[in-house]
Amino acid sequence: MPRGPWHDEVDLIVVGASTAGLSAAVMAADRGCRAIVLERAKEPGGTAAREAELIPAAGSRFQREAGIQDGPDRLAADILAATRHHVEPELAAALAVQGAPLVAWLADRCGAQVELLVSHQAAGHSVPRLHAPGDRGGVSLAADLTRAAAHHSRVSLRTGTAAERLVRDESGVVRGVAVRAERRGAPQGLGGRVLLACGGFAADDALVAEHCPRVAELPYQGAARPGGDALRLGLEAGAATRRLGSCLVTPFLAMPGQLAVTAPLVDLGAILVNQAGRRFADETVESLPLATLVREQPGHVAYLLFDERIATAARAAEPFFAHVVLPRTGRRGATLEAVAKQFELDVEGLRLTVDTFNGNLELGGDPFGRERFDGPLVPPFHAIRVTGARWRSLGGLAVDASARALDAEGRPIAGLYAAGGAAAGLGGEGSEGALAGTDTLAALGLARLAALDVIAQAAPTE
């Protein structure tokens, strides 16, 4: 029964049915808490279906089974080194501890087909520690968490419902949320501790121009559009922010489908060509300048060209690439002419480009200054059409090691938590410096920390 002035009162209200929000709700509910998950869109999952959602888990049982020695201290050190110590050490340490129990929970509680990726060690990670949450990456993760939440008797999943504002008492404690269904009904008040897990602000042009002006010229493309709701709600409640200028971009957003190509194609030897079949850049430079160069090409697109050797290695390195990205967006041809025809590329330009690239390999040089190679390109070939785009904002609401939102003096705001794109996680400054997978670790790790704090404080219902 509702208590007090609320239409309903629970232990945890989650704003945003992202993978972070769903996992927090299920974790809290498994320990006897009641949870409501509010989602503005029709479908839960957020942006997860576009990405691999790899999780760096240090000291996991999957690493032990593979004979890999690792631990949270080592992961935290890698995070701080990659971000040039812009991340708070206590936050890096707290989240580094979360990886191993998270992947175990996903496997044992949610039925995820967790796999340790040992064939490719991502840059910045001192050992192989990236875990795939299923052979379809974020698609698998979102499906597993949605199923666990939707079938839980203590979780109410309400889609098409927007959180309009946080409700606070006279002392500033967050007591609940005022919500409105998108198409029907009057505003309602829901009482309980609140976790903001409704994404960042990468899709909001005005916020990006204000906080991340260097990436503002790049578009955001995707069905789920993180528009800064969490930032607005948190600021209205007096929350502080950190690293709002930290925004990831990608030069390799696969078209159509808007899928992030994160498999190590370039490290394995892939090249970029434009519609004329010509290379135009060193494919190994930083993401922002490369994404900008891609957008300057005819049609604002380019093409990742690689051969079967590279495709085989990339499939082994990342299941999401093997089962989602390549089948949906890739084209294969026995010859360069066959690939050129499928994408309407200039075949003579493409043939000259590949011959020149292979010839330069033998000479040990590259006209664009590329220094990392892995062998000549030989038939059969693959290609993926890509564009440059904003990918994710990494800055957000300031949080502590329990995922509690902090005010300008660094004090926790009672009743308010943040996770996922809503929180300032493990990204550095600017558009570089984030280790592979640490965005997912920060999202799910902060969700777990928030759930544990709610469990500790709540009086679970029977």
Angle between helices 89-96 and 438-457 (to 10 degrees): 80
Confidence label for 182 from pLDDT (cuts 50, 70 and 90): low
User: Structure tokens of 403?
Assistant: 């995922």
- The closest of 8, 387, 423 to 196, measured between CA atoms, is 423
- Cβ(334)–Cβ(379) below 8 Å: yes
Residues 307 and 240 in one domain: no
Q: What are the pLDDT digits (tens) for 399-439?
A: 999 999 999 999 999 999 999 999 999 987 765 668 899 99
- CA–CA separation, 79 and 75 (whole Å): 6
- CA–CA separation, 311 and 250 (whole Å): 20
DSSP bridge partners of 316:
none
Q: Residue 257 carries which DSSP code? A: T
DSSP 114-137: -EE--S---TT-SS--EEESSTTT
User: Structure tokens of 78?
Assistant: 């890698």
Confidence label for 186 from pLDDT (cuts 50, 70 and 90): confident
Residue 2 lies in a domain: no
Residues 214 and 276 in one domain: no
DSSP bridge partners of 156:
36
DSSP 272-332: EE-TTS---S-TTS-HHHHHHHHHTSGGG-EEEEEEHHHHHHHHHH-HHIIIIIHHHHEEE
Residue 279 lies in a domain: yes
Number of Cα atoms under 13 Å in the Cβ half of residue 215: 34
Beta pairing class for 55-56 and 8-15? unpaired
Confidence label for 244 from pLDDT (cuts 50, 70 and 90): very high
- CA–CA separation, 223 and 211 (whole Å): 23
The residues, any chain, with a CB within 8 Å of residue 211's CB and separated by 6 or more, are 201, 244, 245, 247, 393, 395
Residue 216 lies in a domain: yes
Residue ranges making up the domain that contains 380:
248-390
Domain count of the fold of the chain:
2
What pLDDT does residue 459 have?
59
Residues 38 and 121 in one domain: yes
- CA–CA separation, 58 and 52 (whole Å): 18
| Count of beta carbons in the 10 Å neighbourhood of residue 170 | 5
Q: Which residue has the tokens 């939102």?
A: 405
- Judge whether residue 461 has pLDDT over 60: no
Confidence label for 291 from pLDDT (cuts 50, 70 and 90): very high
CA 118-121-127 angle, to 5 degrees, is 85
Q: What are the pLDDT digits (tens) for 91-102?
A: 999 999 999 999
Residue 3 lies in a domain: no
Q: What are the pLDDT digits (tens) for 36-77?
A: 999 999 999 998 999 999 999 999 999 999 999 999 999 999
The pTM assigned to this predicted structure is 0.94
Within 85-200, strands assigned E span 115-116, 130-132, 155-159, 161-168, 174-181, 188-196
Residues 140 and 266 in one domain: no
Residues 164 and 192 in one domain: yes
The residues, any chain, with a CB within 8 Å of residue 67's CB and separated by 6 or more, are none
Residue 27 lies in a domain: yes
- CA–CA separation, 302 and 371 (whole Å): 21
Residues 233 and 334 in one domain: no
Q: Which helix (H) or strand (E) holds 26?
A: helix 19-30
Residues 94 and 61 in one domain: yes
What pLDDT does residue 333 have?
97
Q: Which of 335, 366, 390 is the last residue of a domain?
A: 390
- Cβ(406)–Cβ(420) below 8 Å: no
- CA–CA separation, 198 and 235 (whole Å): 14
SS3 of 422, please?
helix
Residues 183 and 38 in one domain: yes
Residue 447 lies in a domain: yes
CATH number at residue 299: 3.90.700.10
Q: What mean pLDDT is reported for the chain?
A: 93
CATH number at residue 440: 3.50.50.60
Residue 310 lies in a domain: yes
- The closest of 460, 457, 456, 423 to 442, measured between CA atoms, is 423
Residues 312 and 357 in one domain: yes
AA letter at 461: T
Q: Which of 390, 409, 428 is the last residue of a domain?
A: 390
Q: Which of 363, 390, 417 is the last residue of a domain?
A: 390
Residues 383 and 398 in one domain: no
- CA–CA separation, 138 and 388 (whole Å): 21
DSSP bridge partners of 132:
115
Residues 197 and 52 in one domain: yes
Better pLDDT: 180 or 103: 103
Q: What are the pLDDT digits (tens) for 310-360?
A: 999 999 999 999 999 999 999 999 999 999 999 999 999 999 999 999 999
Residue 462 lies in a domain: no
What pLDDT does residue 224 have?
77
Residues 80 and 144 in one domain: yes
- Judge whether residue 460 has pLDDT over 70: no
